[in-house]
Structure 1
Amino acid sequence: MKKVSMLLLCTLLFITGCVQDSNDEEVLQNDDTKEETSIVPSYQLSDENYRMILPYKTSAARGVIGNQIANRVDIDEMEEGLRRLSKEVFDPEELYFQEGQYLTSDMIYTWIDELNPKVKEGADEETYQENPRYLSHILEQNYMRHNEDQSVGLAGISLGIAMKSVYRFQTQVGGPYFYKDIPKDEMLSQANEIAHSILQEIRQMEGLGDVPIMIGIYQEEEQASPVPGNFVAKANVPGGSTSIDDWESVNEENILFPSDEGREKYYDDHEIVSSFGNEIAKFFPNYVGLMGEGFYIDEELQKLTIEIPIEFYGKAEVLGFTQYAYGLVQDMFPNYYDLEVNIKTSQQMESLIYRNAGDESPTVHVYD
């Protein structure tokens, strides 16, 4: 019981350390509707996260991303990645996050159809191959400013433009699927034209003519990929501008471990993950393997996430496995990046081992 209590105590200390003190709860008014009162919570999880305005407003295009992007890991990475890129433009210490309120579902579906190549129903495979649908989705995020008169106004917009790396299509309903790989340079060329068209449309919308806009180009992975794609380019458009003058490359990668790509690009990290799995396999007969995902910026590992699926036959086995994995994490993994180890069965998460970059010791949580 003492060991379990220590695990829970470590978790509580971790959660407490993540919550940052801030000013008292603020009551604000929306610029557009002075009768609508908004509240900014008095706590934020960390200095790097945006505070959010309450009551929480869902996107005007809620649900579209799930219909347009087939891979769940791409959906999560696109949303989180766009917020990450936005921090370089819209300061999280000064601005608040809100889901996109201007681009509606109908607008996004219409733009996707208009900005993709047209193919007549009943066309043959060659026609589809020559006219792939490049654009999957347009994601909007709003960044809000607290004005001196206690109102909240729009300070900036971030747009994520999701582009396919593989085009999957059928020439007839119920027929076989065909695939076309889309080279990165071809995708970027199309994305540039699409982004300019979207910018022109947005500048004509009421209230958005002078708002700064950050645009990120997201390249999806193929539909069955266990790891997501990544942002590959970004551009900042000043308020009032109707053109995109320069694109800046974004050097981000999500790498699967173990894999041939991981071994070739990041050999040392690949070997650590593989050795970690080998050590677990020596002592736990129910272990069948693990999956690691490394997130890199400019070829430097920022976060390593490992999922270990295993079947347990009692809570004592969960505790024993978690304690053993904890020791391996402490001994084997450097602490210059964030590390997360999720131990799970087919039914649920069993335990979590987490260490922030720079921390000496991991934090452990065993789920009830």
Structure 2
Amino acid sequence: MLKRISKRGYLMIGLAVIIILGAFFYFINLGQVGTSTSKTKGIQLTQNSAGDYQTVIKDGHYLTSAARGITATSLNNTLDTKDFESSLLNLSKSHFKTGRYIFQEGQYLDADTVNSLLARQTDSDSDGLNPKDNGKTDDSRNPIYVQTLTEQDFMTKDGNNLRLAGMVVGVAMNSQDAYQKEQYGTTYYQTISDKDRIAYGQKIAPKLIKKIREQQGVGKNIPIVLAMYDTAPEDSLAPGSFYAEATSKSGTDLGDWSSINEKSIVLPKESTDTSTLGSDENSGFTNFKNDITNFFPNIAGATAVAKFTNNKLSSMNVTVTTQFYSQTEINAFTDYISASALKFLPSSAPVQIKVQTANEIQAILVRKSDDKSYTITRLY
């Protein structure tokens, strides 16, 4: 005989069903592409703001590139590192639109492959992009042309997975090669002419494309953009810039090379610099520097790096070095800097102002293009 189920019994059965269904849908969703950044299994995406890419989260962790930061030599301009990557990402947006593609740090060129590519060729190993050492120790030596590589992947959704839809690879070429004639000896500098740098970059490009396509998962028909970057000399106060790009649509074939018109200059300009590029920005920055110096005499210096794309200002990074430490001084000074910057610095491009002592950063002021005010972050 069947036993009547009480109200309490029905309640317990209902709760059990809810728990089972909840667990079922939880495990179903683990492998799906979503917008959460919680630490779960599977592939997820970050939320993106306007004009930025969504990025890939795997098993609750941001996907980083194992080959990031590998260089052919340890002697290079540290300003290039950040500019190289950020400028490459901006360049990528002209090929892979932020609303359609998902950004992923390079996952196909591993550390061993990149180290092999950045090495010199030898009699037993021809994989290196840099030429054989000819044994010379003067300007007739074969320099290190290729300093570093950066891979950026652009993905599209394929059901519950992501599919590689294209790649952009930045190639940083040396304009100056530092070397030693003997271990721990004096460092010498060999200048590489624009003509030689450009020619060598075009020469090794098909070889690099071939190596990229050999990596598992890349395939023969994924579009690959190569972007060539001219690194700055080691003692330069400004970073280098991208100067050319070409696209391989299939195989190792490359389309025509296109020039990229980018240049970074230091403000205030030297009196010997007679170029017209940045003249208006230089006048505005000089007025800004004089204004904040008159307000606070404890300024040790103020400089800016202005970046131009197609002869138009695209960003400005200002560094103000001070000699005071009290909280009230920092508050008063950063407030004054904000007002002075709005008056004298350009509004058509993003501006970042870093206020620092010789030992620490005290404040960062940021204004995006056409913003009406600066956002101030005080670091104390």
| Same-fold status (TM-score > 0.5) | yes
The 2-side partners of 1:193 and 1:61 are apart by 23
Note if 1:284 corresponds to 2:296: yes
**What residue in structure 1 maps to residue 16 of structure 2?**
none
Note if 1:219 corresponds to 2:226: no
Once structures 1 and 2 are overlaid, which stretch shifts more, 60-69 or 197-206?
Answer: 60-69
C-alpha displacement of 1:226: 2.1
Match of 2:372, SS state, is coil
Q: Decide which of 305, 309, 313 is 2:317's aligned counterpart.
A: 305
Going from structure 1 to structure 2, the CA distance change for 1:219 and 1:292 (only over 3 Å counts) comes to same
Q: Which amino acid aligns with 1:351?
A: A
Q: Which amino acid aligns with 2:133?
A: V
Deviations 1:225-254 (A, max 9, x none): 22210110011221x232112011110111
The 2-side partners of 1:353 and 1:174 are apart by 42
C-alpha displacement of 1:259: 2.7
**What residue in structure 1 maps to residue 177 of structure 2?**
167
Going from structure 1 to structure 2, the CA distance change for 1:258 and 1:318 (only over 3 Å counts) comes to same
Note if 1:249 corresponds to 2:249: no
Q: Which amino acid aligns with 1:40?
A: L
Q: Which amino acid aligns with 2:176?
A: V
RMSD between superposed Cα atoms in Å: 2.3
**What residue in structure 2 maps to residue 64 of structure 1?**
70
CA contact (8 A) 1:161 1:195 kept: no
Unaligned runs of 5+ in 1: 1-24, 30-35
The 1-side partners of 2:213 and 2:230 are apart by 25
Match of 1:73, SS state, is helix
Match of 1:64, SS state, is coil
The 2-side partners of 1:162 and 1:256 are apart by 21
Q: Decide which of 105, 111, 115 is 1:105's aligned counterpart.
A: 111
Q: Decide which of 130, 133, 147 is 2:144's aligned counterpart.
A: 133
CA contact (8 A) 2:72 2:148 kept: no
**What residue in structure 2 maps to residue 336 of structure 1?**
348
CA contact (8 A) 2:209 2:252 kept: yes
The 1-side partners of 2:274 and 2:344 are apart by 17
CA contact (8 A) 2:367 2:375 kept: yes
Q: Which has the higher contact order (CA 8 A, sep 6+)?
A: 1
Deviations 1:276-319 (A, max 9, x none): 11122223221111110101100101111111010223111111
Match of 1:173, SS state, is coil
The 1-side partners of 2:89 and 2:75 are apart by 18
CA contact (8 A) 1:144 1:156 kept: yes
Note if 1:124 corresponds to 2:137: yes
CA contact (8 A) 1:163 1:187 kept: yes
Q: Which amino acid aligns with 1:254?
A: S
- Output aligned runs, 1:263-282, within 5 Å: 264=275, 265-282=277-294
- Output aligned runs, 1:170-249, within 5 Å: 170-208=180-218, 209-238=220-249, 240-249=250-259
CA contact (8 A) 2:281 2:346 kept: no
How many residues get paired?
332
Going from structure 1 to structure 2, the CA distance change for 1:313 and 1:96 (only over 3 Å counts) comes to same
**What residue in structure 2 maps to residue 75 of structure 1?**
81
Pair member with larger Rg: 2
Q: Which amino acid aligns with 1:118?
A: K
The 2-side partners of 1:262 and 1:26 are apart by 58
Q: Which amino acid aligns with 2:228?
A: I
**What residue in structure 2 maps to residue 92 of structure 1?**
98
Going from structure 1 to structure 2, the CA distance change for 1:68 and 1:38 (only over 3 Å counts) comes to farther
CA contact (8 A) 1:162 1:220 kept: yes
**Identical columns (%):** 27
The 2-side partners of 1:105 and 1:26 are apart by 28
